[in-house]
Structure 1
Amino acid sequence: MMIGLGIIGLIYGNSALIWEPIRKTLPGRPVIIYLCAVIEIGTGIGLLLRPSVILACRVLFPFLLLWMALLKLPGLFLAPHVMVSWEAFGEIAATSAGGWCLFAAHAGAWEQWHLKFAIGESGIRAARLLLVAALPMIGLSHFVYHDLTASLVPKCMRFPLGWTYLTGAGSVAAAAGMLFGVYPRLAANLEAGMLWIITLLVWVPRVASMPRDQGDWTEFFISSAIATGTWVVADTYRSVPWLASGKAAHAVSPD
């Protein structure tokens, strides 16, 4: 999905919607946007090729953290009363959690020597907590912006407001399950599955009907990145029984 975001950046350049938080008065803004697009495409391809996985993780994880810290975190301080600030932060945080798991699982010798706290089991546990923090931000936005979210529900599905509240509550419940060790594997995988279903039902038809709409393509790739990040975190529970609870349910599968 990083490849798709990178392609959007290359095609639309300075007008790419995903980079709107970058001040238009910033010197070299177009260069920064194109550089970010190249990084996204490069890391996306790198993750697909076994020889370059470690390098791709070394670049992708810091890139996502900088994206979150420089473009999304300030919004929490500038407009903490606006839910969209929290939603935007939660979306990139969920994606970053997946990137962190990949980084922790594919750490090289340098990381094992200098960044022990961020790799292996400790890194994966921290990534899980990042996802736990992110999911309520996404879920609560369904309640705050219920009319807007309901308008995205496919017309063939009845009770759009009900689906809006159900999916929002599902994200909050998944975070609680992961945090307190109540069926965390089931909770994380159900959340990942739900996010993929939302991506397929909401955004695929939109990009198919309006293939030249930059906004829909951007939303599709962002939604896919969130779902992928959540799925990567969910996969770290694969050694845990589906209905495990308590301390044992927090076991880590790093590889």
Structure 2
Amino acid sequence: MRDISMGQALFALTMLALGCLSLFSGDFAFVWQPVPAGIPGRALLACMSGAVLCMAGVGLLVRRTMALAAFILTLYTLLWLLVLHVPHVIAAPLHEVNWGACGEIATLVSASWILYATATAPWHKFYFMALTSENAIRAARMLFAVSVPLIGLEHLIYNDATAAMVPAWLPYHMGWAYFTGVAHIAAGVAILFSVLPRLAAALETLMMGIFTVFVWIPTVMAAPTQRFGWTALLISAVITAAGWIVTESYHGVSWLSSRQSQDHLAKLAMR
């Protein structure tokens, strides 16, 4: 059984924090969990959602339960994506904000899937070979690769809103909005086509971490009682953690290699 990585620890802690936020507020995670207001028992469902995130977050921090926790998170985030976000894309496919939201949640599916694939073993009751093979790990990476460009397109299309989030002390706000959008797209394309994939994943993670530190932490500090700021901070942090997990899945592959290590993928799948 493998050790708990730094990316996994951050992913677990942010999921735990998101769960606590839902439990304490009695509500879902704002626009990231767009559950209609008229749903019967909505507050109870929000608390149940929070409880799942809390238990899964704690489970990822315990070696004995991390495989089960990753399996639950894979199913839960996939359900979150398919039920809450994909219908918005189908209803309004020309609104890029819907695609960007799908991209954000799909990164969580990807990270959860990689954690499950690398932590589970054939003797587990919830072991499914098709989801843990080297092809499955590669598919999870590809899901991440097609997700981050959707976030990048959001930066480009809604450039005014993106530029407004750039810290005041930085010059050329619109330039940063375009740069980050293009960087998201470039990282996704590089991972998708295995062009320095480990380096691309690491740089994507670094960029998301910079957003978290320089955009959302000051937002929370400016209005610490506003739940939106805390939710945005945690979502940004968990997407950063997802990128970290994808980067860690390339451990053993050279930073400057444009070829995936098949032996390394096989070792990951056998853990």
Pick the TM interval, shorter chain.
Answer: over 0.9
Q: What percentage of residue pairs aligned between the two structures are identical?
A: 36
Partners of 1:102 and 1:33 in 2: CA distance: 25
Q: Which residue of 2 aligns with 1:123?
A: 136
What CA distance in whole angstroms lies between the structure 2 residues aligned with 1:56 and 1:88? 24
Q: C-alpha offsets along residues 3-30 of structure 1, whole Å, 9 cap, x if unaligned?
A: 1111111122137525652122222221
Matched to 1:145, the amino acid is Y
Partner residue in 1 for 2:230: 217
In the alignment, the residues of structure 2 paired with residue 99 and residue 91 of structure 1 have an alpha-carbon distance, to the nearest angstrom, of 13
Q: How many residues align?
A: 255
Residues 16-27 of structure 1: pairs in structure 2 closer than 5 A:
16-18=29-31, 21-27=34-40
Structure 1 position 137 matched with structure 2 position 150:
yes
Secondary structure of the corresponding residue to residue 113 of structure 2: helix
Q: Which residue of 1 aligns with 2:87?
A: 74
Aligned twin of 2:119: 106
Kindly provide the amino acid, as one letter, of the partner of residue 196 in structure 2.
Y
The partner residue of 1:169 within 164, 167, 182 is 182
Deviation at 1:111, TM superposition (A): 5.9
Deviation at 1:110, TM superposition (A): 5.5
Comparing 165-174 with 245-254, greater Cα deviation is found at 245-254
Change (3 A) 1:223 1:249: farther
Amino acid at match of 2:98: S
Which amino acid is the alignment partner of residue 91 of structure 1?
E
CA contact (8 A) 2:77 2:105 kept: yes
* Residues 191-247 of structure 1: per-residue CA shift (max 9 Å, x gap): 011101111110011111211011111100111111111110111111111111145
Q: What does residue 201 of structure 1 align with?
A: 214
Judge conservation of contact 2:28–2:35 (CA < 8 Å) in 1. Answer: no
Distance 1:238 1:13, change over 3 A: same
Cα drift, residue 69 of structure 1: 0.8
- Tell me what 1:226 maps to: 239
* Match in the other structure for 1:61: 74
Structure 2-normalised TM-score? 0.88
1:58 Cα offset (Å) = 2.1
Quote the offset at 1:140 in angstroms: 0.6
Equivalence for 2:9: none
* 8 Å Cα contact 2:32-2:101 kept in structure 1: no
Mapped pair 1:86 → 2:99: yes
Residue of structure 1 in register with 2:6 after alignment: none
Tell me the equivalent position of 2:50.
37
Residues 96 and 172 (structure 1 numbering): CA distance in 2 closer, same or farther, change over 3 Å?
same
Q: For the Cα contact (< 8 Å) 2:216–2:232, is it kept in 1?
A: yes
Give the unaligned 5+ runs of structure 2: 1-13
- Matched AA of 1:192: T
Q: Deviations over 1:84-122 (max 9, x none)?
A: 100100000011111110011111336688621111322
**Are 1:7 and 1:41, in contact at CA under 8 Å, matched by a contact in 2?**
yes
Is 48-57 or 187-196 further displaced after alignment? 48-57
Q: Do the aligned residues in 2 keep the contact of 1:237 with 1:250 (CA within 8 Å)? A: no
SS of the equivalent of 2:93 reads coil
Q: Deviations over 1:63-92 (max 9, x none)?
A: 111111111111110111101100100000
Query: 1:19-77 deviations in whole A, cap 9, x for unaligned?
Result: 65212222222111100000111111111122221221121111111111111111110
Rounded Cα–Cα distance in structure 1 between residues aligned with 2:174 and 2:264:
37
CA contact (8 A) 2:18 2:50 kept: yes
* Secondary structure at 2:247 match in 1: helix
State yes or no: 1:235 paired with 2:248.
yes
Which structure features the higher share of helix residues?
A: 1
CA contact (8 A) 1:139 1:167 kept: yes
Residue type of the partner of 1:72? H
Q: List runs of 5+ in structure 1 lacking aligned partners.
A: none
